[in-house]
Amino acid sequence: MGSGQTVTVFGAYGHTGRFVVAELLDRGFVPVLSGRDAGKLRELAASAPAGLDVRPASAEDPASLDRALAGAAAVVNAAGPFATTAGPVIEAALRAGIPYIDVAAEIEANADTFERYGDLARAQGAVILPAMAFFGGLGDLLATTAMGDWTRADEARVVYGLSGWHPTPGTRVAGKVSSERREGRRVRHTGGRLEYHRDELGLLEWEFPAPLGRRTVVDEFTMADVVTLPSHLDIPEVRTAMALEAARDLASPDTPAPTAVDERGRSAQTFVVDVVVRSGTGERRAVAHGRDIYAVTAPLVVEAVERILTGRTSATGVVSAGALFDAPDLLRALSAHLTVEVSERAVSSAS
């Protein structure tokens, strides 16, 4: 457990940040509350156990970030858009000599992190872990688990069966920033690289494991997994898809933000993440079932923090979850939050 170690949470008062703060407290860590809005930080501190440190900081002010990270064992960046915040907080973490973990679902921001900071982080022996979240991190852990002893696969699909999607304001802002960076184009991972295009989205009928069953999904609804998986797995084709109902919710400007329905602040949303990797005539599958994509990010993050701080890692530099940790073991550790099933079968050439 955390043993009283301090962890700075940048963006602590945001929707996901609050879940991360609560999970850190549950696991015996002492969160340091940070972010741009001092008033919101004080409000959060007033609702938490007494004595939590409040340290306002801005991504545009390196000195304020240095103060926010001073004495901390690690920093979790939960403040998007990560196109703006990731670089400055990573640089502050490198100056402080502490691990950096973020929950970025922004494809370009994650790609930038790997490209800009990989060599520097390796040279310092630092750990920079982007996308340790529902999008990017969970899919990578599942794909790594499904791969098992395979060293290469022909294709990976990460298919999201969300019961619906009530996006947070942060999700909407991040999506707007990403769209602007792409100039309205779409992105996919094919032939071993990211490719930008203007093709229309298509629909696909996908057979989820029971009890979800057959559902219509939006094909090439591309998420951060197209950065995290190929960063360490030899899979030239990585495709993601999203349940049609959830994609419609996200696209509608009238869809409200998540509403808490239990004492932990979780919404009623449920999810299935179905990851299939194919190699030749073999197919391996790892499936995770759970509740609330924002809430489940918190145990993913805090389990990562604990493993990094206790030395249960296998790499340094900018690394994704599947490369940094024993993926099957980490998923087992989250059994209170996720149900994971792994299977294998042979497929015919017509499948």
pLDDT (0 to 100) of residue 212? 87
Q: Residue 80 is which amino acid? A: G
pLDDT (0 to 100) of residue 348? 58
pLDDT tens-digit readout, 237-288: 999 999 999 999 999 999 999 999 999 999 999 999 999 999 999 999 999 9
| Token code pair at residue 283 | 């197919």
pLDDT (0 to 100) of residue 50? 77
* pLDDT over 80 (residue 10): yes
* pLDDT over 90 (residue 122): yes
Distance of CA 184 to the CA centre of its chain: 23
pLDDT (0 to 100) of residue 43? 96
| Rounded Cα–Cα distance for residues 35 and 303 (Å) | 22
**Average of per-residue pLDDT values in the chain:** 96
154/212: higher pLDDT: 154
pLDDT tens-digit readout, 210-250: 888 999 999 999 999 999 999 999 999 999 999 999 999 99
* pLDDT over 70 (residue 204): yes
* pLDDT over 60 (residue 350): no
Contact 247, 222 (CB under 8 A): no
* pLDDT over 50 (residue 351): no
Q: How many CB atoms lie within 10 A of CB 167?
A: 22
* pLDDT over 90 (residue 129): yes
Range scoring the smallest mean pLDDT among 49-53, 95-99, 136-140: 49-53
* Average pLDDT value for residue range 122-136: 98
The DSSP result for 163-185, as a single string, is S-----HHHHHHHHHHHHHTTT-
Beta-strand relationship, 282-291 and 30-35 = unpaired
